């Protein structure tokens, strides 16, 4: 029994397709055909490749990137925790299972300046609403005694999906939008 499977082979067209997806699907009647045209791929070839990439786990899902501030979600808090390393996986799983948590991950601490190793993002429309949800989340997950900070955003400089292909240059106007 093999516990770890080999990573699927991705050819140059697969990589170009993943890179093209990074900017989003065109909002047209035939988005997959339009996605494939600059790559020299037919709509059927694009769909076949995307199906294979999904079946092999390279692509987990497709989704929209909503600019949350534009739809009223202006109170966004990154909750950071300084949790014992041997408890971080369990605490991370508890936080990630919460409906209010939109992003949860673990990072190495950068001591002495930054002691935190577990991060959970919570979005809401009002700061007091988010604060109440965070307090409930901390209580329900048994993290009351864990050193932590709740960092509310004050300005968005950039928001987008992940970038997995070649780096794309960004203009200062895009950063400030």
What confidence tens digit (pLDDT) does each residue in 146-174 have?
A: 999 999 998 878 766 665 555 444 444 54
13, 39 Cβ separation under 8 angstroms: yes
**CA distances to 64, 66, 92 from 15, in Å:** 21, 25, 31
What confidence tens digit (pLDDT) does each residue in 24-49 have?
A: 888 899 999 999 999 999 999 999 99
DSSP state letter for 5: P
**CA distances to 80, 87, 93, 105 from 147, in Å:** 9, 13, 18, 17
Contacts of 162 (CB under 8 A, 6+ apart): 22
Q: Where are the domains of the chain?
A: 12-55, 68-152
Q: What was the pLDDT predicted at 177?
A: 45
Q: What was the pLDDT predicted at 2?
A: 46
> What's the mean pLDDT in 16-24?
86
Helix, strand, coil percent content, the chain, rounded in steps of 5: 40, 15, 45
In this structure, whether the domain defined by 68-152 belongs to CATH 3.30.70.3460 is answered with yes
What confidence tens digit (pLDDT) does each residue in 88-147 have?
A: 999 999 999 999 999 999 999 999 999 999 999 999 999 999 999 999 999 999 999 999
């Amino acid at each position: 029994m093999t516990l770890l499977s080999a990573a699927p082979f991705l050819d140059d067209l697969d990589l170009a397709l993943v890179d093209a997806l990074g900017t989003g699907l065109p909002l047209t009647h035939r988005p997959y055909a339009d996605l494939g045209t600059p790559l020299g791929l037919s709509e059927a070839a694009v769909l076949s490749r995307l199906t294979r990439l999904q079946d092999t786990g390279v692509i987990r899902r497709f989704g929209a990137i909503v600019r949350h501030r534009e739809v009223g979600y202006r109170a966004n808090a990154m909750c950071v925790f300084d949790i014992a390393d041997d408890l971080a996986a369990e605490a991370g799983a508890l936080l990630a299972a919460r409906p209010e948590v939109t992003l949860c991950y673990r990072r190495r601490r950068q001591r002495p300046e930054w002691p935190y190793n577990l991060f959970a993002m919570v979005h809401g429309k009002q700061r007091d609403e988010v604060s109440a949800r965070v307090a409930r989340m901390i209580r329900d997950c048994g993290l009351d005694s864990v050193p932590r900070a709740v960092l509310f955003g004050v300005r968005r400089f950039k928001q987008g999906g992940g970038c997995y292909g070649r780096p794309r240059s960004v203009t200062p106007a895009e950063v400030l939008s």
